[in-house]
Chain A
Amino acid sequence: MTEKHLDAELHTRGTSLYVDDVAPPAGMLHAAIYGSPVAHGRVKALRLDEARNAPGVVAIYTGEDVPGENQIGPVLPDEPLLATDLVEYHGHPMAMVVAETPEDARHALTLIEVDIEPLDVITCPRVAHEAGHILGTPRTFAMGDTTAAFADCDIVVEGRSDVGGQEHLYLETQRARAVPTEGDRIRVYSSTQSPYAVQKACARILGLPTHRVEVDVIRLGGGFGGKEDQATSWACLAALACQITGRPTQLVLHRLDDLRMTGKRHPYSADYKIGLSKEGKILAFEVKHFQNAGAKTDLSLAVLERTLFHSTNSYFIPNVRAYAASCRTNLPPNTAFRGFGGPQGMFVIESAIAHAAEVMGVDRSEIQKKNLIQEGQSFPYGQQAERARARRTWEEAETNFEIGSWQKEIADYNAKNAATKKGLAAMPICFGISFTATFLNQASALMHVYTDGSVSLSTGGVEMGQGLSSKLVRIAAQALRISPHRIKVETTNTTRIANMSPSAASATTDLNGSATILAAEELRRRFRELLARELGVQDAENITFEDEKVFYCDEPTDWTWEKLVAHAYLSRVSLSAHAFFATPNVWFDKQKETGRPFAYHVFGTAWTEVTVDMLRGTYTVDRVRLVHDLGRTLNENVDLGQIEGGLAQGIGWMTLEELAFAEDGRLTSHALSTYKAPDGDALPDEIDVRLLEDADNPVGPFGSKAVGEPPLMYGIGTFFALRAALRAAAPEAELAFNAPMTPEKVMMQLHHNRLRTLWETPPTSTAAPAAAGE
């Protein structure tokens, strides 16, 4: 049987449930949010009377109505739930309308008026940096001595690299439903990756102890990091209305509001300097990252840290100095997004290598290959590469995909064709797995076995399409040696699992799967003890389980799973187990900026081929072929889906997905008609994924490796493939390291200098000849 995604049957029948698919409780109210119409200003007046009197409106709430603390900042307390005196980005939530229908609530929004004294708007991180608008403190990772090393280099190049943000575009917008229960208690159904963050924030907002708020999550219609921290405010708002009105309240963001009000992947601007020997060894690298954090801290500091961790991607560079600052601007607070700052770090080193290769007149891949990190070499943060597979994935790609002849094909094609040009580029990746905030690397599982032998499993992990439930079922079944059909994964609920870490950092399966294994082991330990008594033997360790049957010294017994469970119940042996897992051997010293932050790294190498239409400046991504290190796969189909889906998002980020902001801080790519994520047509028809064989990972559950984030970074190769195609057409053109490489950038870089004389000098024959004969 092929491995399935356990929710897929429900999905294809349209019967799986998201927050607002559950039949609404009687009397449910609907909320809508009024966001600031300017990006920065002092609030002089907020006039709500007309809106209050609009049909269907039950109440309008502002920051002053918050019974607890008007504060939801997860790391630093700089984020009020509803802005009161100061608005700091366009769309900054200021008031909430609660009405009988969503239409009534949205209608009332149009009647709200506000007086805001405008203040200066900053959208560029460099400008913010200059002005000292820095969140937290800038960080520097250093290894070796770059100054001395540059003096020894044969080639030194410097430049600038810019990379845009990215809208998450989870198909299900942010939403939550809050339902009153008895007393001062409230139950919140939220589409969040972080139920505990929602629980804590709701309690803080409502002025209640945490245990009065129950958060329940069935599944998410996509998260990608966008619901790690930014699902919180919407859940708090629904909870606030529910608490005050005493009625169930639902808040579903309209797509336009979601786009306008929520943060995205951080755009970065960076300066780099790279030095190499004439043989192509990278000897020194310096980089300054200016992160565009948006208006609030959110998770920006953790994202910034990961940018530093991945500033040298898969390469060993002996002398490194990497600086990074989180710059406060008047954009919505940027937040987690698959890769979490890592991709932005990698884009800069890849730019620097491409730049150096062009100056040296060699193919970029030659330099990439020469510098791949090897066993025992150090990353700039002190951790050594263990079971380093950068070179292995590179070499397997080289042989599997016959890179030499592929490169030649491309060169021949370009020599023969003028109308279209092709580009080919390699993208190795190396991504660290673990939360870099070490304390988050913990998880719990709660396993109940019922007397009929069926099993209920709760963990702190959230199913958002990544296939967590399918993997947990597989892990639990394998750990208990029973059929997967007996296992059901429950909703993620704060009353069953306390203090859970967010489902993020690709680590959800690692952490919750490991906790699940421990819970199963605890049950098996109890069963062995019981069985030893029943079988009258001393050596409980020789009792084993396989295929729902019990063996003693490898001989079958007449005990089956069902018999065992029923007997355990009658013998008053607990059939429930709670287990706790903490990733061993991870730590980081922020004073020294060194440590061992990651349990392990994921490696891989991708090659991307593109074709550019030289006349129109449009392009296609033709094929991506890659070798990826998964450890031992837990569910090959699910893992393949993660790889392909991550790659697709990476390609989108590098090509079409352009967030446009006006100078006044307004998002102009404000709808799906103007923000374009890849559709089927925009992606390559050929995606060839090879998994590294024989690649056990002793620290992952059953030898597996995390898969969520790393594949996104293969998409970066698309940018460099496009650049290679442009180079083939215009070897001398000035090409910027500025992603995404939209068709506009292709066109402008190819043709603008050449063609603009057409309109800059008037036609010679202004008196056009009268049309002959007509």
Chain B
Amino acid sequence: MTTHVEFWLNDRRVITDVPDGMLVLDYLRKDRLLTGTKEGCKEGDCGACSILIGEVVDGVMRYQPVTSCLTPVGEMHGKHVVSIEGLNLPNKLNPVQQAMVDRVGSQCGFCTPGFIVSMCWYMMAARETPTLEGFQRAFSGNLCRCTGYAAINRASLDLVEQFGPGGQWASIWQADDRLGALMEAGLLPGYFAEMPKRLEAIGEMEEVPRDDADVIDFFVAGGTDLYVQKGELLPRAQVKILNRHPEMKGIRKEGDTLHIGALTTFEEFGASEDVLAFIPEIQDYLHLIASLPLRNRATIAGNIINASPIGDMTAIMLALDTTLVFARGETTREVELKRFYKGYKTFDKHPAEVMTEMVLKVPAAGTGVYFEKVSKRRCLDIATVNSAAKLRISDEGVVEEASLTLGGVAATPLWLEKTGEFLNGEVLSETLWREALRIAHTEMSPISDVRGSAEYKRLLATQLLTAHVVKAAPERVSLDAMLAI
């Protein structure tokens, strides 16, 4: 499918009718000969292709880093696409570039533009006081094979000093209009000032009405699964870009019910006050899931419909007793996530149905929501086994609610129905827990694959489930005792 897409690419207006499904990375490198953006994997795993995407939110520009290798051009209408070239100043280096040069944070250079983009994003947009850890989280999706990151850390520390309290540019960091202050100090190209006006001048996109879903080959949400799995087909296919429907985004609380738009990204979920209220650790959990640029794109609905047995957000939504809402034309339908999966990558959904939202009950006071994940590499890796839990244990030790999940140990994300039933209403003890684990083992059926042997996955499942109860009720199930069984 092709539509006229109009956006700003760095300091240039672009009107193009390349296929909707074409990747921004290919468009930059091949159509625009902007070769600073590199291709290292085309699967979201290296960050060499990082770019910023800006949009106007409440009258000001908001930028986010994304991987251009998984982002379709068709979604860029009305946006500001910033590649490395767009961050260059005419006659000098910007502060991030200068720090990286001073500290030799670049060797072969192939990863470098991606790092610069991620770090510039932090400089432009981070809200907290700058820290090394903040920079590290910003480039957590960037791989470098040459430097071992130490020099990049040193460059980050220079920037922390310059922009942090007492630093030469502290006032820029604290300014309400950070971008404006950066431009005024000559640290960011001046054209950024024009962007809100320029973007607002771009009209709504005229989409050829094509809601007849039968001619659609693919619904693209964040594209982070689709492009990895079907990347070579998409530019030639009929795609429907769901992100053109912002009404499917956002989190809304009605009484004790939470409505989560299907297109809500992982990052948006983690930033929601309503979510933080009952999962205060959500940011720590998210750190274990994909990477920042991926989480800016990946949607929760996409995670659920991708139906991977190790979907991390799926595990959390499953523990939270989520109900999915689907629409097809005028008809809507609800399905409990617990009952959604039928087998490996098969589920209760018609191909033409679109998930519009997810609904869940906010957990009662005193309920803990836990998430555990073990992967070979801690960050930006797919789980070998994951587990989420919603647990409420009374002061007397009675298990009032136990909704437990496991990923990676069956053909589908697993909700441990029997284990939960066994625990509910019982007084938690180490003996009871050991018995619960035995029951949990009857519910799983792991297989060996590249992420680990079946036996390893059983071990992990045991330990991760235990980790939840040890956190929830250490006085009832102690870690030392569990390590010594």
Contact = CB atoms under 8 A, between A and B. Distances in A.
Contacts of B48: 171
B148 A748 contact: no
Contact of A171 (B102, B144, B153): B144
Interface in A576-625: 614-618
A172 interface: yes
A641 B146 contact: yes
Given A615-B479, A680-B152, A772 B109 contact: no
Contacts of B228: 673
Contact of A616 (B84, B232, B464): B464
Interface in A406-460: 418-419
Interface stretch (A16-24, A389-397, A533-541): A16-24
A106 interface: yes
Contact of B36 (A15, A20, A687): A15
Interface residues of B, number: 97
A13 B466 contact: no
Given A466-B107, A644-B151, A680 B462 contact: no
Contacts of A171: 38, 40, 46, 48, 108, 110-111, 143-145
A644 B483 contact: no
Given A21-B35, A640-B151, A773-B425, A5 B104 contact: yes
B33 interface: yes
A744 interface: yes
Interface stretch (A153-161, A297-305, A756-764): A756-764
A221 B83 contact: no
Contact of B145 (A8, A224, A673): A224
A607 B418 CA distance: 49
Contacts of B46: 171, 672
Interface string A1-33: 011110111111111111011010000000000
Interface stretch (B196-204, B297-305, B317-325, B436-444): B436-444
Interface in A625-674: 637-638, 640-641, 644-649, 656, 658, 660, 668-669, 671-674
Nearest to B89: A13
A658 B388 CA distance: 27
Interface stretch (B329-337, B340-348, B375-383): B375-383
A676 B43 CA distance: 13
Contacts of A4: 101-102, 104
A681 B140 contact: yes
A680 B109 contact: no
A679 B102 CA distance: 22
B394 interface: no
B456 interface: yes
A644 B376 contact: no
B377 A759 contact: no
A769 B424 CA distance: 9
Contacts of B455: 748, 752, 756
A771 B425 contact: yes
B43 A672 contact: yes
Interface string B129-143: 000000010011011
Contacts of B479: 418-419, 615
A687 B150 contact: yes
Contacts of B93: 9, 12-13
Interface string A115-146: 00000000000000000000000000000000
A617 B460 CA distance: 8
Central interface residue in A464, A669, A756, A759, by most chain B CB within 10 Å: A759
A3 B380 CA distance: 34
Interface residues of A, number: 101
A744 B384 contact: yes
A743 B376 contact: yes
Contacts of A617: 374, 459-460, 463
Interface string A452-477: 00000000000011110000000000
B149 A755 contact: no
A682 B470 CA distance: 26
Contact of A418 (B41, B152, B480): B480
Interface string B6-39: 0000000000000000000000000001011110
A774 interface: yes
A765 interface: yes
A532 interface: no
A375 interface: no
Nearest to A676: B377
Nearest to A168: B145
> In terms of DSSP, what is the predominant structure of the interface of chain A?
loop
A641 B424 CA distance: 56
Given A14-B36, A771-B425, A644 B104 contact: no
B485 interface: yes
Contacts of B152: 680
A187 to B, nearest CB: 20
A548 to B, nearest CB: 25
B84 A681 contact: no
Contacts of B35: 14, 17, 20-21
A307 interface: no
A5 B435 CA distance: 61
Contacts of B460: 616-617, 747
Given A11-B113, A680-B140, A747 B107 contact: no
Contacts of A11: 106, 109, 112-113
Nearest to B133: A685
Given A641-B104, A648-B149, A768-B439, A751 B459 contact: yes
Given A4-B101, A763-B435, A772-B424, A679 B379 contact: yes
Contacts of B424: 771-772, 774
Given A418-B479, A672-B45, A773-B425, A641 B151 contact: yes
Contacts of B232: 103, 106-107
Interface string A485-510: 00000000000000000000000000
B109 A255 contact: no
6 contacts: A5-B107, A172-B40, A419-B480, A678-B148, A683-B150, A769-B421
Given A8-B101, A676-B381, 7 more contacts: A12-B112, A15-B88, A641-B148, A673-B45, A679-B379, A752-B459, A758-B462
The 7 closest A-B pairs by CB, nearest first: A14-B36, A465-B108, A772-B425, A648-B148, A11-B109, A221-B110, A465-B107
Interface of A: 2-5, 7-18, 20-21, 23, 103, 106-107, 168-173, 219-224, 254-255, 418-419, 464-467, 614-618, 637-638, 640-641, 644-649, 656, 658, 660, 668-669, 671-674, 676-683, 685, 687, 742-744, 747-748, 751-752, 754-756, 758-759, 761-766, 768-774
